[in-house]
């Protein structure tokens, strides 16, 4: 017992350094969007120690839990005799194999069915004002409260779960159960309410238990892990059976110790909240500082300003770029500097982009003359308002359409699409991930190809609809694609890799979103997409840029990978400390 406080406090570096979770889904992250993984593990540890009798010292003067059991049984017998509740079906004794850990002296193993009421019903006047609580109104942290709406009892007495003031509710459906959604109902209108059917309710009998101790048990890692194995139903609709809540072994402390445990849990959870707030505030401040300094870098007016600003960042590089988010911000800044002509020096001996444009136009005219492409309608000149920044001498602003052949994919009938291994891969938005193309899906037969559009290798494919809008990649083989993808096959001489990186910048991605309209499902058609302006460097500088940005992106990815590995190590350390405490 003496080692427990130090176990909690001596490892604060582990609790606060473990990776911050920003993903929803399976696991006990609390469903709040942002939780520091280590602090979430600390919360789990506190609850597990609480129900094992390791959080506060025992007091030999406390009334033993065995005596408390007798009083509860007497209370239940009285309610049965008064006709207020039905007599329980006898449960078999808890076997030694079912006892999950050794209890302190004066504690007892029992079940919630033996010491409380499970899923009771309420009686009230139809026109009584009562509380309605949906699942969305229930929190996941130990100290979370619940929201409520006012309803007449007649509106909610049928088809909903009943509860009363002081009852404990625990979610029974996945993923709410795994995410530890549970609460104590309080502040109910006229003391009663009803709500989501996806709850099991535990009602304490005449204040014989501390409800928040029961809540700690229902939120403890062991109960949640055991409950997951007992859930029934299909994926996405699994539910915790009532029988598990009723009969799972429940560690019962003396009632006085229950209250001491709850007080200590509240104290430690408040500490966790403080640590989490400090960590999140520090993380947000760090991100703001990084973004501010990188913003100054892109706003540099001259080469001298740029070099001075970069030196300030470089002097604190290992302090600033310590998170995956900061590395992503650095990558975006490097890409933006690329298309602003600030990443590599210009060479006055390079052929200017205006001459390159003439050669591109000559190549386009040749393809038109040979009947390989159609002659486009001329695009309007690029206005000053469309130019987001100034370009170096020798560069030119051009519309995307001027750099190559733009197309939108089509979707041939399913009978002409088969498993991969056929004539030509058929690419959809889901096949473009992390700048790469997955070719393992459907393909087109020769008949399908005649109804589709061939996209030659070394083209840029960009998703132009929905949540994946802006994702893009370069194909290393001939493909076809569906109508949710726009493509650009650059004329010679244009570096497709330079075009790919230019399309990755904040300025270009912002233009895609800006042209996609304000609907719930963003979409940009080929005409708007192909008219987006893009900076065109000299041909020689395109290659210097690609070589430098490839080098820098590789270094950023290596640094990001090292940060991710360190974060995973911190998570393992946090897990290990929890396992050590539970096993001790």
pLDDT tens string 372-403: 888 878 888 999 999 999 999 999 999 999 99
**Lowest-pLDDT range, 24-33, 310-319, 438-447?**
24-33
The two structure tokens encoding residue 77: 């017998």
Provide the pLDDT confidence category of residue 333 given band limits of 50, 70 and 90: very high
pLDDT of residue 24: 35
Cis preceding linkage at 175, omega within 30: yes
pLDDT score of 346 more than 70: yes
Rounded to an integer, what distance in angstroms lies between the CA atom of residue 273 and that of residue 375?
Answer: 64
Burial string for 298-336 (b: 16+ CB within 10 Å, else e) reads bebeeeeebeebbeebeeeeeebbebbbbbebbbbbbbb
Rounded to an integer, what distance in angstroms lies between the CA atom of residue 575 and that of residue 499?
Answer: 45
Provide the pLDDT confidence category of residue 9 given band limits of 50, 70 and 90: low
CA-based nearest residue to 227, from 259, 276, 184, 181: 181
The residue that leads in pLDDT, 297 or 138, is 138
pLDDT of residue 377: 81
pLDDT score of 35 more than 80: no
pLDDT of residue 33: 39
- Average pLDDT rounded to a whole number, residues 463-490: 93
Provide the pLDDT confidence category of residue 355 given band limits of 50, 70 and 90: very high
Please classify residue 478 by burial: count the beta carbons closer than 10 Å to its beta carbon, then call 0-12 exposed, 13-18 middle and 19+ buried: middle
pLDDT of residue 446: 67
Provide the pLDDT confidence category of residue 453 given band limits of 50, 70 and 90: confident
- Average pLDDT rounded to a whole number, residues 422-447: 84
Question: Is the whole-model pTM more than 0.75?
Answer: no
Query: Which domains are assigned to the chain?
Result: 112-251 (3.90.220.20), 277-342+554-568 (no CATH), 353-537 (3.90.220.20)
The two structure tokens encoding residue 485: 């993808």
pLDDT of residue 569: 84
CA within 13 Å, CB half, 97: 0
pLDDT tens string 305-323: 777 888 888 888 888 888 8
pLDDT tens string 254-294: 999 999 999 999 999 998 899 888 888 888 898 899 999 89
Q: Write down the mean pLDDT value for the chain.
A: 87
pLDDT of residue 89: 82
**Residue 158 and residue 186 in contact, taking contact as beta carbons nearer than 8 Å:** no
pLDDT score of 539 more than 70: yes
Rounded to an integer, what distance in angstroms lies between the CA atom of residue 200 and that of residue 169?
Answer: 6
Provide the pLDDT confidence category of residue 357 given band limits of 50, 70 and 90: very high
pLDDT score of 12 more than 90: no
Provide the pLDDT confidence category of residue 84 given band limits of 50, 70 and 90: confident
Beta-sheet strand order (sheet of 417-419): 417-419, 442-444, 424-427, 480-481
Q: How far is CA 26 from the centre of its chain?
A: 10
**Residue 59 and residue 106 in contact, taking contact as beta carbons nearer than 8 Å:** no
Provide the pLDDT confidence category of residue 578 given band limits of 50, 70 and 90: confident
**Could you tell me how many residues make up the chain?**
584
- Average pLDDT rounded to a whole number, residues 422-451: 82
Give the DSSP H/E element, type plus range, for residue 519. none
**The dihedral formed by the CA atoms of 312, 313, 316 and 322, expressed in degrees to the nearest 10:** 170
**Lowest-pLDDT range, 11-20, 96-105, 417-426?**
11-20
DSSP β-bridge partners for residue 318 = none
Percent of the chain, pLDDT > 70? 90
pLDDT of residue 356: 92
pLDDT score of 471 more than 90: yes
**Secondary structure letter of residue 143 according to DSSP:** T
pLDDT score of 184 more than 60: yes
**Secondary structure letter of residue 299 according to DSSP:** T
**Secondary structure letter of residue 185 according to DSSP:** -
């Amino acid at each position: 017992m003496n080692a427990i406080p130090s176990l909690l406090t001596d490892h604060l570096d582990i609790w606060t350094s473990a990776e911050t979770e920003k993903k929803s889904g399976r696991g006990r992250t609390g469903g709040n969007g942002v939780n520091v993984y280590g602090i979430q593990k600390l919360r789990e540890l506190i609850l597990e120690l609480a129900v094992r009798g390791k959080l506060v010292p025992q007091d030999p003067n406390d009334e033993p839990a065995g005596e408390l059991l007798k009083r509860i049984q007497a209370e239940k017998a009285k309610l049965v005799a008064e006709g207020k509740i039905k007599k329980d079906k006898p449960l078999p004794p808890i076997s030694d194999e079912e006892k999950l850990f050794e209890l302190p002296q004066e504690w007892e193993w029992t079940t919630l069915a033996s010491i409380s009421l499970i899923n009771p019903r309420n009686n009230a006047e139809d026109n009584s004002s009562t509380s309605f609580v949906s699942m969305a109104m229930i929190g996941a942290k130990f100290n979370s409260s619940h929201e409520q709406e006012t309803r007449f009892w007649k509106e909610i007495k049928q088809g909903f779960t009943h509860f009363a003031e002081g009852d404990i509710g625990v979610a029974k459906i996945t993923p709410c159960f795994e995410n530890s959604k549970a609460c104590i109902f309080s502040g109910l209108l006229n003391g009663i309410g009803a709500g989501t059917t996806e709850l099991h309710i535990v009602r304490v009998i005449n204040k014989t238990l501390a409800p928040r101790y029961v809540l700690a048990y229902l939120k403890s890692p062991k109960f949640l892990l055991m409950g997951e194995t007992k859930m029934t139903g299909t994926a996405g609709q699994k539910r915790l059976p009532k029988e598990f809540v009723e009969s799972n072994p429940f560690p019962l402390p003396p009632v006085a110790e229950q209250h001491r445990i709850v007080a200590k849990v509240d104290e430690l959870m408040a500490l966790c909240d403080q640590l989490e707030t400090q960590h999140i505030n520090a993380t947000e401040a760090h991100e703001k500082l990084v973004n501010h300094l990188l913003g100054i870098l892109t706003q540099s007016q001259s080469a001298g300003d740029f070099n001075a600003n970069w030196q300030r960042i470089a002097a604190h590089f290992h302090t600033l770029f310590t998170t995956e988010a900061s590395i992503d911000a650095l990558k975006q800044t490097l890409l933006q500097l690329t298309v602003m002509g600030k990443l590599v020096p210009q060479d006055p001996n390079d052929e200017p982009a205006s001459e390159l444009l003439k050669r591109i136009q000559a190549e386009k005219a040749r393809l038109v003359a040979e009947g390989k492409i159609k002659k486009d309608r001329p695009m309007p000149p690029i206005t000053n308002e469309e130019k987001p920044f100034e370009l170096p001498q020798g560069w030119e602003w051009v519309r995307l359409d001027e750099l190559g052949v733009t197309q939108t994919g089509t979707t041939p009938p399913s009978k002409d699409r088969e498993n991969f291994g056929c004539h030509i891969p058929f690419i959809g938005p889901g096949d473009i991930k992390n700048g790469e193309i997955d070719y393992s899906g459907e393909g087109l037969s020769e008949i399908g190809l005649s109804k589709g559009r061939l996209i030659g290798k070394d083209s840029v494919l960009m998703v132009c609809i929905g949540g994946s809008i802006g994702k893009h990649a370069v194909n290393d083989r001939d493909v076809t694609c569906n109508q949710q993808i726009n493509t650009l096959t650059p004329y010679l001489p244009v570096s497709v890799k330079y075009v790919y990186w230019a399309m990755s910048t904040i300025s270009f991605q912002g233009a895609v979103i800006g042209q996609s309209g304000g609907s719930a499902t963003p979409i940009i058609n080929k005409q708007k997409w192909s008219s987006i302006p893009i900076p065109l460097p000299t041909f020689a500088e395109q290659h210097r840029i690609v070589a430098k940005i490839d080098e820098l992106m590789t270094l950023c990815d290596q640094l990001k990978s090292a940060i991710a590995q360190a974060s995973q190590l911190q998570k393992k350390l946090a897990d290990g400390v929890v396992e050590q405490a539970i096993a001790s």
